[in-house]
Amino acid sequence: MQKLSEELKNTPSCASQATCSVSSELNRDESLSVQNKVLPDNNHGGNQRQHTDGFKSKVYVLNKNGNPLMPCSPCKARHLLEANKARVVRRTPFTIQLNWDCENNIHKINLGIDSGAKFIGFSAVSEKQELISGTIILDTMMKSRLDSRRMYRKNRRSRKWYRKLRFLNRVSSKKEDWLPPSIKRRYQAHLTIIDKIKKFLPVTNVKIEVGNFDIQKIKNPDIQGKEYQEDSRFGYENIKTYIMSREKHNCQLCGKSVFGKKVNLHHILPKRSGGTDKADNLALLHESCHKKLHKQKLEKFLKKSKQYKEATFMNIIKRRFKQDINCFLTFGYKTFYKRKKLDLIKSHVNDAFVIAGGKKQIRCNEFEITQKRKNNRCLQKNRKGFAPSIRRQRYSIRPLDLVKIAGKWLETKGVHCKGKRLLINKKSIAVKYIENIVHTGTFNWKQAVSLLVKVDSRFT
């Protein structure tokens, strides 16, 4: 028996139910289960796959030759799969390929990219609806990994005196269009997502928002003329003199004057965490306050130095998009004006929707994509008494991959025991119990994917 949960108000008591047959003998009893009330749970046989959030889910379609077509609804894709007229070729995002020749009827699709150093927003829009949208969370651990690699190589070279000197091997910086590895990886993520979307959507135009930042103007709004050629320490004897003038001869921790007392310069962001010796990263402290800070861990009370890595990244890549891909460029002030006109909140997806030319189109479910590394370089510490070693073996199962065990799809944390066992929810499971594997690759798609997989999980 179905459980009745709540009552609907303002229901007329004289309203009769629609008959299901011409013969009155075959009709149901028109009396309600609870007199004078209609309950929302009475319609138990409704469409269980219907989404009520106002957003649409899409299944992406390829023709017989593998070229992208316009996407379809999950319902239509399910019928094609049941009739063996299509097969599943990609799980995330859910994509099918037709087994028969069809009309390649495609519409004009604009792809908008909201570029960034930590997040990328994307949205593909046609004249009537939005076809795909989402946010990419970029992996920003490249610098720390390079530091680890530098440490490994330094130790190795110290044991082998016959190796060549490092400065004789640096040829990458002399190459044309060379980029630092940390910037190159984030920039390449922009090109990768554009290429991936073009594989399952017939994109006509690509429009990218870029930024032009004047970092010196951000630091000093009154800067002009030849002041651009002068450092912030211009006219001061050394860094310590400049910092004393900047802090007005007061300790940054206690706020008292430092005249006649011993002072120390403290790194706000430690060098081990990527901090520098620049004046912006140094704080003026009493010697006693400096000792107190380290003992009681009071770093949170210091003024954090502003970082302009994102602005520097945007200044570097703004001209490279035109060189590498055929696209149109736009700027943030135009996006801001259009977004306000459409009364949309600030988000990477909404910015990308506006960049793509979106206005009043039907929106679709949003994807959240996490970027991950392909190869794991780690120091194996727990080796049962043996000396630590660097893990170089590449295993087929990587973190965040999906495995099917006992009829359930689970997300892996990685492998151990030389690839013989999996780590899933802090539990170790033997590889022999795996029924199926889905490799997520560099990008791990989530959220809206679950809606599509729920509809067609039996075909994967």
Say which CATH number the domain at 146 has: 3.30.420.40
Letter for the amino acid at 424? I
**Whether residues 101 and 65 fall in one domain:** yes
27 & 113 share domain: no
User: By three-state DSSP, how is residue 326 classified?
Assistant: coil
H or E segment and range at residue 288:
helix 287-296
CA distances from 203 to 90, 114, 196, 208, 304 (A): 19, 16, 11, 14, 44
**Are residues 129 and 83 both part of a single domain?**
yes
User: How many helices, marked H, and strands, marked E, lie in the chain?
Assistant: 11, 20
Mean pLDDT by 10 residues, the chain (460 residues): 43 40 41 42 38 66 93 92 93 90 89 94 94 93 84 77 64 73 92 94 94 74 71 69 83 84 84 78 86 83 77 86 90 92 92 93 91 73 68 81 90 85 90 90 72 39
Q: Residue 83 domain-assigned?
A: yes
Task: List C-alpha distances in Å: 71 to 59, 130, 168, 350.
Answer: 6, 11, 54, 21
Number of domains composing the chain: 4
* Sheet-wide strand order for 436-438: 408-411, 402-405, 436-438
Tell me whether residue 294 is in a domain.
yes
Distances from the Cα of 187 to the Cα of 120, 181, 316, 321, angstroms = 10, 10, 10, 9
**Both 200 and 250 in a single domain?**
no
Same domain, 359 and 394: no
Q: Phi first, then psi: what are they for 218, rounded to 5°? A: -65, -40
274/70 Cα distance (integer angstroms)? 47
Domain span including residue 261: 232-301
pLDDT, position 6:
44
* Domain C-terminal end among 256, 273, 301: 301
Cβ-count burial of 273 within 10 angstroms (0-12 exposed, 13-18 middle, 19+ buried)? exposed
- Same domain, yes or no, for 88 and 142? yes
